[in-house]
């Protein structure tokens, strides 16, 4: 029992000692924490004070920088304002100087004007004095002196009139001689009309004379449409069951012939149908041209010719040179060139090819300006022809010196074909050239749609674009064309200039 009590007392004493020890330990730890917190607060206050100083320093620097920039900007603006003020002051000074100069000039002009007025007055006084002196010296008054002067003037004029009358008489005699020559030339040309007609007209047979009226149409609208679309002059006279197509261009005549024949067969003749038939006729003629070229190339045995050149060769059947058909002439030159080349032992193929193509430029001379030799060389070069062939074409009229045997052969063959009896007619070629020049002159003006030389070159028919040429402008155009023809062409008689302006509106009921 005593041991138990001692144990309990010992435990109580241990608990009391532990309690006091833990209390003293907690109080020490609390004191240490308070000290650490105080140190942290002191350090934080010191750091915040240092940051505050840095921020204040940076703020002061930023304020200083902004103040410096503002001062610099203000300084620059003050400089600009000063410059503008100086300019304004300078301009004001210039204006003041100009104003002073104008005032001085105005004063000077007023003084001069006054001097002129004074001089005019003095001059009038002097004139009156001189007039009185002259009247006193001559013994005539002013009116009497005028009568004397008029009498003397009449004498001088009568003498000059006599001289002028003599000059007019001489000029009239010269003009009468020129007029007589023109009349004789015109008569000669009319006598030659039958000869020209052989190559410039085509006759189309009709089933009956009633068809003539249908071709003419109401108020002539059908015949006008045919003529305007084809450029061919339709001559409808008393010849029974036939009409005549007249044009110097054989392609146009052929297109018109085919179109008219188709219209006669169809029986429906009106402007819209005429346009369709003309388009079909153009396609048919183009096909004939292509076939003619292919036949010529095939008959001559020429291979590898470009299709465009074949087409141009076919076009030559509708071209003439001094009345000679150029396609037949070219085929003839090709045959002659081949024969001579065979005899001389040179390249037959080159000679034959150059002979066929030597006048190929004449297929283009209606569309392009320039000599047919150069046109032919250019088009053959564009389609990669043999250089020997190009040289032969270029040299066949002696424009350049022939430096190959084939070129000399083509020259000789061309001369032989052209010089044989009956091959060419000089008059027809010059006549057709004049008709071409008529159309060229008309087409040189603005607003022209088409132009056609008709009536054997005695009339030029010009179709204008109605949206480009007004009614009043068409009158001026006719006069301008006539004046240009007078200045650039020489021709007997007179040429009628017709300007046609037509507006057509088409619609379809569906």
Mean pLDDT, residues 433-456: 83
CA 187 to chain CA centroid, Å, is 42
Dihedral over alpha carbons 226, 228, 229, 230 (to 10 degrees) = 80
176 contacts 223 by C-beta, under 8 angstroms: no
> Quick one: 278 and 309 in the same domain?
no
d(CA 488, CA 234): 28
pLDDT band at residue 466 using 50, 70 and 90 as cut-offs:
confident
Does any domain span residue 165?
no
pLDDT at 231 over 60: yes
pLDDT band at residue 194 using 50, 70 and 90 as cut-offs:
very low
346 contacts 384 by C-beta, under 8 angstroms: no
Mean pLDDT, residues 111-121: 86
Most confident of 238-252, 267-281, 488-502: 267-281
Q: Supply the CATH number for residue 441's domain.
A: 3.30.300.20
> Quick one: 3 and 134 in the same domain?
yes
- Residue 193 is predicted with a pLDDT of 35
Does any domain span residue 509?
no
What share of the chain has pLDDT > 90, as a percent?
Answer: 0
Does any domain span residue 171?
no
Does this model's pTM top 0.85? My answer is: no
- Residue 337 is predicted with a pLDDT of 87
pLDDT band at residue 184 using 50, 70 and 90 as cut-offs:
very low
Query: Which one of 111, 138, 165 terminates a domain?
Result: 138
> Quick one: 410 and 339 in the same domain?
yes
Does any domain span residue 505?
no
pLDDT band at residue 204 using 50, 70 and 90 as cut-offs:
confident
How is residue 372 written in tokens?
Answer: 């047919």
347 contacts 341 by C-beta, under 8 angstroms: yes
> Quick one: 310 and 380 in the same domain?
yes
> Quick one: 308 and 400 in the same domain?
yes
Whole-number average pLDDT of the chain: 79
User: Per the structure, how many domains does the chain have?
Assistant: 4
Give me the domain span that covers residue 397. 301-424
Q: How many CB atoms lie within 10 A of CB 293?
A: 25
Angle CA 33–34–38, to nearest 5: 115
Mean pLDDT, residues 50-72: 84
Mean pLDDT, residues 193-215: 68
Lowest mean pLDDT among 10-14, 79-83, 366-370: 366-370
Mean pLDDT, residues 88-99: 86
Mean pLDDT, residues 379-403: 85
pLDDT band at residue 502 using 50, 70 and 90 as cut-offs:
confident
Does any domain span residue 241?
yes
> Quick one: 419 and 438 in the same domain?
no
Does any domain span residue 231?
yes
pLDDT at 47 over 60: yes
d(CA 39, CA 42): 5
Query: Which one of 138, 153, 184 terminates a domain?
Result: 138
Query: Which one of 252, 283, 314 terminates a domain?
Result: 283
Does any domain span residue 380?
yes
d(CA 85, CA 27): 86
Tens digits of residue pLDDT in 410-427: 888 888 777 655 445 444
pLDDT band at residue 492 using 50, 70 and 90 as cut-offs:
low
Tens digits of residue pLDDT in 467-479: 888 887 888 888 8
Q: Supply the CATH number for residue 234's domain.
A: 3.30.1370.10
Q: Supply the CATH number for residue 352's domain.
A: 1.10.3210.10
> Quick one: 354 and 237 in the same domain?
no
Q: How crowded is the C-beta side of 18, counted as CA atoms within 13 Å?
A: 6
Q: What is the DSSP string of 167-216?
A: HHHHHHHHHHHHHHHHHHHHHHHHHTHHHHHHHHEEEEE-S-THHHHHHH
More confident residue, 169 or 43: 43
Angle CA 421–424–430, to nearest 5: 150
Cα torsion 406, 407, 413, 417: sign: positive
> Quick one: 305 and 336 in the same domain?
yes
> Quick one: 89 and 207 in the same domain?
no
d(CA 45, CA 41): 6
Q: Which residues pair with 246 in a beta bridge?
A: 201, 233
Lowest mean pLDDT among 44-58, 167-181, 287-301: 167-181
Q: What is the DSSP string of 140-178?
A: --HHHHHHHHHHHHHHHHHHHHHHHHHHHHHHHHHHHHH
How is residue 495 written in tokens?
Answer: 């040429």
> Quick one: 3 and 132 in the same domain?
yes
Single out the residue of 436, 7, 465 nearest to residue 200, CA to CA. 436
More confident residue, 382 or 190: 382
pLDDT at 189 over 60: no
- Residue 140 is predicted with a pLDDT of 67
> Quick one: 328 and 416 in the same domain?
yes
Does any domain span residue 228?
yes
> Quick one: 130 and 4 in the same domain?
yes
């Amino acid at each position: 029992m005593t041991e138990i009590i001692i144990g309990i007392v010992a435990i109580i004493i241990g608990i009391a000692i532990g309690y006091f020890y833990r209390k003293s330990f907690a109080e020490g730890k609390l004191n240490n924490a308070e000290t650490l917190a105080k140190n942290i607060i002191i350090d934080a206050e010191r750091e915040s004070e240092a940051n505050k100083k840095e921020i204040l320093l940076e703020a002061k620097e930023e304020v200083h920088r902004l103040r410096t920039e503002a001062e610099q900007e203000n300084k620059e603006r003050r400089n600009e304002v000063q410059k503008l003020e100086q300019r304004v002051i300078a301009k004001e000074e210039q204006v003041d100087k100009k104003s002073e100069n104008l005032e001085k000039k105005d004063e000077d002009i007023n003084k001069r004007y006054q001097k002129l007025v004074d001089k005019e007055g003095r001059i009038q006084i002097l004139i009156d004095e001189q007039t009185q002196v002259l009247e006193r010296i001559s013994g005539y008054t002013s009116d009497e002196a005028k009568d004397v002067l008029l009498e003397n003037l009449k004498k001088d004029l009568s003498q000059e009139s006599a001289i002028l009358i003599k000059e007019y008489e001489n000029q009239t005699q010269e003009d009468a001689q020129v007029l007589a020559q023109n009349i004789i030339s015109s008569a000669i040309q009319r006598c030659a009309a039958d000869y020209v007609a052989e190559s410039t007209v085509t006759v189309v047979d009709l089933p009956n004379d009633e068809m003539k009226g249908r071709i003419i149409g109401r108020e002539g609208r059908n015949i006008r449409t045919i003529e305007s679309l084809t450029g061919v002059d339709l001559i409808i006279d008393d010849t029974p069951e036939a009409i005549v197509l007249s044009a110097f261009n054989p392609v146009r005549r052929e297109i018109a012939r085919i179109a008219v024949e188709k219209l006669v067969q169809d029986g429906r003749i009106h402007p819209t149908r005429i346009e369709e038939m003309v388009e079909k006729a153009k396609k048919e003629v183009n096909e004939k041209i292509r076939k003619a070229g292919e036949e010529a190339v095939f008959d001559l045995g020429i291979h590898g010719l470009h299709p465009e050149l074949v087409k141009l060769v076919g076009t030559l059947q509708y071209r003439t040179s001094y009345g000679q058909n150029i396609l037949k002439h070219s085929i003839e030159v090709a045959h002659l060139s081949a024969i001579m080349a065979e005899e001389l032992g040179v390249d037959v193929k080159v000679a034959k090819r150059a002979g066929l193509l030597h006048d190929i430029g004449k297929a283009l001379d209606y569309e392009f300006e320039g000599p047919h030799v150069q046109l032919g060389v250019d088009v053959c070069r564009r389609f990669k022809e043999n250089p020997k062939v190009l040289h032969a074409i270029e040299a066949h009229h002696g424009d350049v010196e022939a430096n190959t045997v084939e070129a000399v052969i083509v020259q000789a063959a061309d001369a032989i074909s052209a010089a044989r009896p009956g091959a060419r007619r000089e008059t027809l070629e010059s006549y057709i050239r004049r008709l071409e020049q008529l159309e060229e002159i008309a087409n040189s003006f603005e607003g022209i749609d088409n132009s056609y030389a008709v009536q054997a070159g005695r009339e030029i028919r010009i179709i204008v674009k109605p949206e480009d040429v007004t009614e009043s402008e068409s009158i001026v155009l006719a006069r301008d064309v006539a004046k240009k023809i007078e200045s650039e062409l020489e021709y007997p008689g007179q040429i009628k200039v017709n300007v046609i302006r037509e507006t057509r509106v088409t619609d379809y009921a569906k």
